[in-house]
């Protein structure tokens, strides 16, 4: 992987990880269009870890209050940690049991294209959803967790699926976004642990400088994407990404069929 390819992949990852348009789908498409060859999904996971830093930069204080409160035994913070655990379990089960199958499907562009289509449908379904619950519950966490597992299984946008699920579960717009972003922390860490065992081999195959540059770009663009999406969600315009997802889905499927 060259330096410019690392920068392009980092930019794509950072912008699309939190915008509801499927970061993994965009990475697979960009890799196919640019001819980037990477070992397995190692590069994608490392770029996801870089965007984890974006969450920590934007929501670091909130996470700190939750962690400190949970350590002190404060009921509200302990419940929130429990909700994050509940929301993580479904995707964790899917990831552990179907890891190899999902990795093989990552570069199947027809499959990726249908994932874009499904994401668009899900986003469009939220255009009149404005919940009133200011805090998640065990029930809403379970629904959001199933949304995250569906995203992993069907190659849809993780943020799109989780925020849509949260809105359908009745959470307020800002609360839905926050819970989705905080839920990405254990999901990304879990994926990093699975792929981390190949780190020394794959860094050498990819190149340390391009990978580092891609991660830095992903970190910076991820912060921008989070702030932009939160502003859009609070205006009730979350569904506006649906036409884009449908357009990219059509292009991806046609390109896959043309390429053979």
User: Which phi and psi (to 5°) does residue 172 adopt?
Assistant: -60, 160
In this predicted structure, what is the pLDDT of residue 141?
A: 96
Residues 211-218, mean pLDDT to the nearest whole number: 90
pLDDT at 201 over 60: no
In this predicted structure, what is the pLDDT of residue 112?
A: 92
Residues 192-221, mean pLDDT to the nearest whole number: 75
Give residue limits of the domains in the chain: 59-205+228-259
Q: Which residues of the chain form beta strands (DSSP E)? A: none
In this predicted structure, what is the pLDDT of residue 117?
A: 94
User: Which phi and psi (to 5°) does residue 133 adopt?
Assistant: -80, 120
Residues 102-118, mean pLDDT to the nearest whole number: 84
Q: Are 126 and 167 within 8 A, CB to CB?
A: yes
- 162-178 confidence digits (pLDDT tens): 999 999 999 998 899 99
Under the banding of pLDDT at 50, 70 and 90, the label for residue 100 is confident
Residues 39-52, mean pLDDT to the nearest whole number: 75
pLDDT at 45 over 80: no
Instruction: Report the b/e string of 71-85 with b at 16+ CB within 10 A.
Output: eeeeeebebbeebbe
In this predicted structure, what is the pLDDT of residue 171?
A: 93
In this predicted structure, what is the pLDDT of residue 144?
A: 96
Alpha-carbon distance 28 to 56, whole Å?
26
- 2-42 confidence digits (pLDDT tens): 888 889 888 988 888 889 998 888 888 888 888 776 555 66
């Amino acid at each position: 992987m060259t330096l410019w390819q690392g920068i392009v992949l980092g930019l794509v990852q950072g912008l699309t990880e939190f915008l509801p348009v499927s970061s993994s789908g965009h990475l697979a498409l960009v890799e196919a269009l640019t001819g980037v060859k990477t070992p397995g999904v190692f590069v994608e996971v490392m770029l996801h870890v870089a965007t984890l830093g974006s969450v920590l930069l934007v929501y670091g204080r909130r996470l700190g209050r939750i962690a400190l409160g949970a350590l002190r035994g404060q009921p509200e913070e302990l419940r929130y940690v429990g909700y994050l655990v509940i929301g993580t379990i479904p995707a964790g089960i899917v990831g552990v049991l179907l890891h190899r199958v999902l990795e093989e499907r990552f570069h199947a562009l027809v499959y990726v294209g249908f994932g874009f289509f499904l994401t668009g449908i899900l986003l469009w379904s939220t255009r009149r959803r404005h919940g009133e619950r200011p805090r998640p519950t065990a029930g809403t966490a379970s629904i959001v967790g199933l949304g995250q597992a569906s995203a992993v299984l069907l190659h849809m946008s993780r943020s799109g699926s989780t925020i849509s699920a949260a809105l359908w579960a009745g959470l307020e717009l800002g609360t839905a976004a926050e819970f989705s972003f905080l839920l990405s922390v254990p999901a990304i860490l879990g994926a990093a642990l699975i792929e981390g065992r190949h780190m020394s081999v794959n860094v050498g195959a990819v190149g340390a400088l391009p990978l580092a540059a891609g991660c830095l770009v992903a970190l910076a663009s991820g912060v921008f994407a989070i702030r932009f999406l939160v502003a859009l969600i609070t205006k009730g315009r979350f569904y506006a990404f649906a036409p884009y997802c449908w357009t990219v889905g059509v292009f991806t499927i046609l390109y896959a069929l043309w390429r053979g």
